[in-house]
Amino acid sequence: MVSAVDVPEETSAGAPVEIAVNRESCCGAGQCALAAPAVFTQSEEDGLVLLLDPNPPAELRDAVRRAQSHCPSRSITIR
């Protein structure tokens, strides 16, 4: 799995990024939804992560990286 420190330089330089989530490993802590609410939310049924925007705009990249680094189950991947 890719961690926040492993995000390639071109990602931070403005190249498009793709976000993926693993609902099977998600523990429902909700840190992603707090860090980047325009990109992540939680299911009302089971509390697990739901991806709202798999290709967020550049201005949300820092928030997405924060969400990834705060995820206790490491269920967020940035490509």
Pick the CATH number of 4-78 from 3.30.2230.10, 3.90.1150.10, 3.30.70.20, 1.20.1370.20: 3.30.70.20
For residue 24, the model assigns a pLDDT of: 98
What pTM did the predictor assign? 0.81
CA atoms within 13 A on the CB side of 36: 28
How many Å apart are CA 4 and CA 79, to the nearest integer? 11
- Residues 77, 49: Cα–Cα separation, whole Å: 13
In angstroms, the CA 52 to CA 1 distance is 20
pLDDT in the model for residue 47: 97
> Which pLDDT tens digit goes with each residue over 48-72?
999 999 999 999 999 999 999 999 9
Which band of pLDDT confidence, cut at 50, 70 and 90, is reported for residue 15? confident
Higher pLDDT, 14 or 19: 19
Tokens of 35: 């860090």
The whole-number pLDDT of residue 16 equals 79
The domain segmentation of the chain, as residue ranges, is: 4-78
